[in-house]
Structure 1
């Protein structure tokens, strides 16, 4: 790659040595002992706690570029403030007041969607690359993973300025991959409850206790740093990002992959998060079937 060519997102890319610390994470050498050790460690952590952090994944000399790119994109962020429960469902007055489906929290955050992230940014190059997909697939123990077909949600930048937070919630997807690109001055801590629910049991009593602040045992906190890569099974682990404080927003790239091709986000949730929907979302909603695991989305 020449000095004048910044590089473009390329789904065939195997060599990410200009972005990733390949001395620690030799993605271009799948059978390298260091990479095999990383994959084994990641699988163990994901099986036990539903979460793993690959520290220093991004090269140190790329941290400022990814921060600057993210800060520039953050200026176009869509912000939305809503009262939501952990399931993004409407209130049901027939449920008991202590039921977590009736516990609503203020969610204010911003997103820059994939259609607004140019192909020369480092996070776009990472997201589509064959090397990145191979790493995520192996760490999760999946036979194959796919980019989201969603025109907005496949790759997004989450923006949390002063006074905003992401309250307790679950992810729609079984897993998510994220990388903080800018750390706030204070707050913005990632907290989660590993495997607090499963496909057979929503565990409403314990979930409600966590949301009300009555239970802190089992709540884990992560000290994430810019350039760390986090793999997280957020469909079964309740999680949040605490309130951000200070003039420096918390910026995080979210790399959304799926176990099946052609995944498109739900219409109403897309409208809530990004302020708009596409024809692709409307068509997908018409064809959508119920989730096989039966959990509230």
Structure 2
């Protein structure tokens, strides 16, 4: 995506992607809370287009209500007594994979933009970010229908970039526990406490369509609460990695998208030894 298209899509009067002040703000908020929301990142005049493009592909989402735990590991995994992985939830959200997102869509054009990728890397303080080599999980639309939720979980990649494209009529609130674990420590007792109902570490965000959310989702337990009312909740997930060549595991890919491709049968590139 060329710079002129960035200028068409992004509110560059507020968010010049090469503005050190914008980057410094994002870095400061990420360091403090593990999350930064750039409100109205997409020009307000394009909210209708953003919503319509998401709604057009939402029927392509893979729906499969299933029972999961926060680590997305098998429910019969051999875990010690009291491990938070023993706590399960119904997962009712669905995902539209990257290969169902038209290249002309705003979210696709942003995701593949070299300028946008440079901005994301700068905000996270990284030398570079790379789109996933995963043809399904690289870019996807998360769809949560009324009566459903996206329960507590950790992200597979180290950091997450997302954008709400359609808000729920009621509910559908993003909640997270910043830095509840690290690459070196699972901090199981803290995770268990939240799953048991401790709201002390939990933060809540009121997101709007077109807001850009930068989030350290690998280390922050998070969820989307139950959606209520008539409308669905849609959010685009821009999956990048510090390393090229990252793909999801076959088990996780089938869980999310209902299918796997040959690339998923090969060894995934991963950077830590955390459970998921």
Paired residue for 1:77?
Answer: 61
Paired residue for 2:201?
Answer: 218
CA distance in 1, matches of 2:172, 2:82: 27
* Structure 1 stretches lacking a partner, 5+ long: 1-9
What is the aligned counterpart of 1:112 among 96, 118, 141?
96
Per the TM alignment, residue 93 of structure 1 is displaced from its structure 2 partner at its CA by 7.2
Per the TM alignment, residue 216 of structure 1 is displaced from its structure 2 partner at its CA by 0.8
Paired residue for 1:25?
Answer: 15
SS in 1 for 2:164: strand
Paired residue for 2:35?
Answer: 51
Please say which structure displays the higher CA radius of gyration: 1
CA distance in 2, matches of 1:239, 1:199: 17
Paired residue for 1:178?
Answer: 162
Paired residue for 1:294?
Answer: 273
CA contact (8 A) 2:16 2:22 kept: no
What is the aligned counterpart of 2:3 among 14, 32, 35?
14
Per the TM alignment, residue 40 of structure 1 is displaced from its structure 2 partner at its CA by 0.3
CA contact (8 A) 2:68 2:75 kept: no
Deviations 1:123-143 (A, max 9, x none): 111110112101101000100
Give runs of aligned pairs for residues 162-241 of structure 1, distance below 5 A. Answer: 162-213=146-197, 215-241=198-224
Per the TM alignment, residue 228 of structure 1 is displaced from its structure 2 partner at its CA by 0.4
CA contact (8 A) 1:109 1:158 kept: yes
CA distance in 1, matches of 2:89, 2:38: 31
Q: Following TM superposition, where does structure 1 have runs of at least 4 consecutive aligned residues deviating by more than 2 angstroms?
A: 91-98, 291-294
Per the TM alignment, residue 277 of structure 1 is displaced from its structure 2 partner at its CA by 0.3
Bigger shift: 69-78 or 90-99?
90-99
CA distance in 2, matches of 1:207, 1:107: 18
Paired residue for 2:256?
Answer: 273
Per the TM alignment, residue 181 of structure 1 is displaced from its structure 2 partner at its CA by 0.4
SS in 2 for 1:86: coil
CA distance in 1, matches of 2:271, 2:244: 16
Per the TM alignment, residue 293 of structure 1 is displaced from its structure 2 partner at its CA by 3.0
CA distance in 1, matches of 2:272, 2:112: 28
* Structure 2 stretches lacking a partner, 5+ long: none
CA distance in 1, matches of 2:108, 2:268: 28
CA contact (8 A) 1:14 1:130 kept: no
Q: What TM-score does the superposition give when structure 1 sets the normalisation length? A: 0.89
CA distance in 2, matches of 1:97, 1:117: 43
Against the structure 1 CA distance between its residues 105 and 18, is the aligned structure 2 distance closer, same or farther, given a 3 Å change threshold? same
Deviations 1:47-70 (A, max 9, x none): 122111011101010000010111
Q: Are 1:121 and 2:100 counterparts?
A: no
Deviations 1:153-176 (A, max 9, x none): 111011101011011110010001
Paired residue for 1:7?
Answer: none
CA contact (8 A) 2:62 2:258 kept: yes
